[in-house]
C-alpha cells in the first residue's frame, strides 16, 4: 500500500519534472526564434531604432556594443538572452519608453477584460454543452449547437462592430470605446460602475466568441462519458436523471474542459487583439494593434515574447493540473 503510493507520487513527480523541462526547452526555442526574426531577418536593428533621426555617432557605437553587433552571432545571441532575462526589450519607437514598462501598464486592462470573458464563456459554454448533450437531438441541442457554431465562425471583431453599432451608436446604452469616461476623475463606486459600463460590450463580444469552443468540447466529452457503463449502473440504481447528470456524468466529462480552460488562459493575453482595437480598450491587444500601425518593432517583439511565455506557462499548468486530476497519468 505504502509502496504503491510512493511509486505513484514518484511517477507523478517525474512526469511534472519532464513537463517543466519541456517547457523550458520551448522557451529557449521561442527565444532563438525571436532572435532570428528580429536580429537576422530584420536588417540594421540600430538604424531602425532611430528611424532617421540624427543620432550622435557615439551613441550608435554604444548601442552596437550593447547589442553586440560587431561580435559573432553567438555573442549577439548571448547578449540578447541576457537582456531578455533582465526584462530589457528595448525602447518602444512610439512612446520612447522601455517596452517592458509599456507592456506592464497594459496588462491589467487585458487581464480584466479577457479574464472576465474567459470565465463567463467557460461557465456558460459548459452549461450549454451539458444541456445539448443531455438533450441530444432535441431542439435545445440543435439550437445550442448551431448557435455556438455561428458565433464561432464569425470574426470576433466583426461581432464587436455589430454590438458596438447596435448598443452604443444606435441605442446609446453603452460608450463607444475606452476603459473609462474621457478624463474621468471618478473614484470608488462611480469608478467601478464606469469601468463596468465600459467593459460590458467588449466582454460580451469575447464571451460570445469563446462560448462555442467550450460548448462543443463539453458536449462531445459528455457524450463519450454517457456511453460508459457506470452511468447505466447509476441509472439502474434508480437515481434521478438530474442527479446522475450532475453527480456522475458532468464531473467526469469536465476534465477536457478544465484542460481547455487552462490552455485558453494562456491565450488570454493575446486573445483579444482585434476586439480591443474595435473598442479602444487600452490593453495588450490595442498595444499590439497600435504597434502594427507604427510599425513599432521592439514593442511587437516584446509583446510576442510575453504572449508566447504566457502560453508556455499555462500549458505547463494544464499538464500539472491534469496530472493531479487524472489518476491514470503516471510517469507516462
Partner 1 sequence: MRRTVVFILFALFGAAIAPAAFAQEDAGVVLRIGLTQDWETLNPTAGFAVSEYEIWNVHYATLTDKAADDFAPIGGLAESWVASNDGLTYTYTLREGLKWSDGEPLTAEDVAWNVNTSRDQEWDNMLSTVINLDAKVIDDRTVEITSSVPDPKLPNMDIYLVPKHIWEPIATDYDATVEYEALDGVGSGPFVISEFTKGQSVVMVANPNYWGWEGETPPIDRVIFQTFANPDAMVAALQQGELDAIHGFPAGSAATLEADPNIEVVAGRQGGFDEIAINGGAVVGQPHPALLDLEVRRAVSFAIDKEAVIEDLWFGLAGPLETMSPGADEAKWIPEISADKAFTYDPDRANQILDDAGYLDTDGDGIREMPDGTNPIILRHAVNTDGDLAGPIGELFTGWMQAIGIGVELASYDQDALFGVIVEGDYDTFFWGWVPFVDPDPMLSYFTEAELESYNDANWTDPRFEELYLEQKVELDPQRRIDIVHEMLTILHDAAVYIPMYLGPDLQAYRTDTFEGWVRQPADVGPVMFSNSSPSYRLLRPVGSDAVGGSSDGTNWVLIGGLAALVVVGGALVVTRRKSTADDRE
Partner 2 sequence: MTSLAMQRRRATAGRVLAQFRSSKPGVIGFSVLLLFVVIALAAPLLADVRELNPVFARASGNPQWASPGEFGALGTDHLRRSVWVQFVWGSRVSLFVGLAATILTISIGSVVGIVSGFVGGRLDAFLMRITEWFLVIPFLPLAIVLASILGRNVWNIILVIGVTSWPSTARLLRAQVLTVKQRLFVDRSRSLGAGNGHLVARHILPNVSGLILANATLAVPISILTETTLSFLGLGDPSSPSWGKTLEEAFVNGAMVRNAWWYFLPAGLGILVVVLAFTLIGRTLEEIADPRLGQSR
CB neighbours of residue 153 within 10 Å = 8
Burial class (CB in 10 A: 0-12, 13-18, 19+), 192: exposed
Comparing CB distances to partner 1, the nearer of 88 and 280 is 280
Comparing CB distances to partner 2, the nearer of 254 and 303 is 303
Q: Are 225 and 193 in contact (CB under 8 A)?
A: no
Residues 87-146, interacting with partner 2 (CB under 8 A): none
* Sole binder of partner 1 in the list 31, 130, 163, 272 (CB under 8 A): 130
Q: Is residue 128 a contact residue for partner 1 (CB under 8 A)?
A: no
CB-based burial, 268-287: b 16+ in 10 Å, e otherwise: bbbbbbbbbbbbebbbbbbb
Residues 190-219, interacting with partner 2 (CB under 8 A): none
Taking the C-alpha atoms of residue 198 and residue 279, their distance in angstroms, rounded to an integer, is 9
* Set of cell numbers at residue 71: 561580435
* Sole binder of partner 2 in the list 51, 96, 237, 293 (CB under 8 A): 293
Residues 29-88, interacting with partner 2 (CB under 8 A): 29-30, 33, 37-38, 41-42
Taking the C-alpha atoms of residue 193 and residue 213, their distance in angstroms, rounded to an integer, is 30
* Sole binder of partner 1 in the list 37, 123, 239, 310 (CB under 8 A): 123
Comparing CB distances to partner 2, the nearer of 169 and 243 is 169
From the list partner 1, partner 2, none, pick the one residue 217 interacts with, judged by a Cβ distance below 5 to 8 Å according to partner type.
none
* Set of cell numbers at residue 153: 465562425
Percent helix, strand, coil in the chain, to 5, is: 75, 0, 25
Residues 157-216, interacting with partner 1 (CB under 8 A): 168-169, 172-178, 181-190, 192-194, 196-197, 200
With CB under 8 A as the contact rule, which of the stretches 52-60, 79-87, 187-195, 301-309 interacts with partner 2? 301-309
Taking the C-alpha atoms of residue 136 and residue 233, their distance in angstroms, rounded to an integer, is 20
With CB under 8 A as the contact rule, which of the stretches 26-34, 53-61, 142-150, 217-225 interacts with partner 1? 53-61
Tell which residue, 314, 271, 304, has the closest CA to residue 103.
304
Burial class (CB in 10 A: 0-12, 13-18, 19+), 305: buried
Q: Is residue 237 a contact residue for partner 1 (CB under 8 A)?
A: no
Q: Give me the residues that bind partner 2 (CB under 8 A), please.
A: 22, 25-26, 29-30, 33, 37-38, 41-42, 149-150, 153-155, 157-158, 161-162, 164-165, 169-170, 176, 220, 223-224, 227, 266-267, 270, 273-274, 277-278, 288-289, 292-293, 295, 297, 300-301, 303-304, 307-308, 310-312, 315
Amino acid at each position: 500500500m505504502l509502496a504503491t503510493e510512493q511509486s505513484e507520487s514518484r511517477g507523478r513527480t517525474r512526469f511534472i519534472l519532464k513537463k517543466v523541462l519541456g517547457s523550458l526547452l520551448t522557451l529557449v526555442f521561442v527565444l532563438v526564434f525571436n532572435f532570428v526574426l528580429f536580429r537576422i531577418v530584420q536588417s540594421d536593428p540600430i538604424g531602425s531604432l532611430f528611424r532617421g533621426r540624427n543620432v550622435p555617432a557615439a551613441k550608435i557605437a554604444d548601442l552596437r556594443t550593447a547589442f553586440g553587433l560587431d561580435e559573432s552571432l553567438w555573442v549577439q545571441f548571448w547578449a540578447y538572452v541576457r537582456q531578455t532575462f533582465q526584462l530589457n526589450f528595448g525602447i518602444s519607437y512610439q512612446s520612447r519608453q522601455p517596452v517592458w514598462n509599456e507592456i506592464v501598464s497594459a496588462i491589467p486592462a487585458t487581464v480584466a477584460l479577457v479574464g472576465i470573458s474567459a470565465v463567463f464563456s467557460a461557465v456558460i459554454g459548459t452549461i450549454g454543452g451539458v444541456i445539448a448533450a443531455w438533450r441530444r437531438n432535441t431542439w435545445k441541442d440543435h439550437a445550442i449547437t448551431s448557435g455556438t457554431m455561428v458565433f464561432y465562425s464569425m470574426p470576433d471583431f466583426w461581432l464587436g462592430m455589430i454590438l458596438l453599432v447596435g448598443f452604443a451608436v444606435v441605442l446609446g446604452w453603452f460608450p463607444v470605446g475606452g476603459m473609462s469616461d474621457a478624463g474621468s476623475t471618478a473614484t470608488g463606486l462611480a469608478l467601478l460602475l464606469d469601468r463596468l459600463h465600459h467593459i460590458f460590450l467588449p466582454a460580451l463580444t469575447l464571451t460570445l466568441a469563446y462560448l462555442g469552443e467550450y460548448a462543443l468540447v463539453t458536449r462531445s466529452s459528455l457524450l463519450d462519458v454517457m456511453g460508459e457503463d457506470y452511468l447505466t449502473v447509476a441509472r439502474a440504481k434508480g437515481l434521478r436523471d438530474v442527479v446522475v447528470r450532475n453527480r456522475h456524468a458532468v464531473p467526469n466529462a469536465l476534465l477536457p474542459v478544465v484542460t481547455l480552460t487552462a490552455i485558453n488562459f494562456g491565450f488570454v493575453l493575446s486573445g483579444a487583439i482585434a476586439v480591443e482595437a474595435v473598442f479602444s480598450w487600452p490593453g495588450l491587444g490595442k498595444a499590439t494593434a497600435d504597434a502594427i500601425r507604427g510599425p513599432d518593432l521592439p514593442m511587437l517583439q516584446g509583446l510576442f515574447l510575453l504572449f508566447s511565455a504566457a502560453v508556455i506557462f499555462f500549458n505547463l499548468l494544464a499538464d500539472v493540473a491534469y496530472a493531479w486530476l487524472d489518476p491514470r497519468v503516471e510517469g507516462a
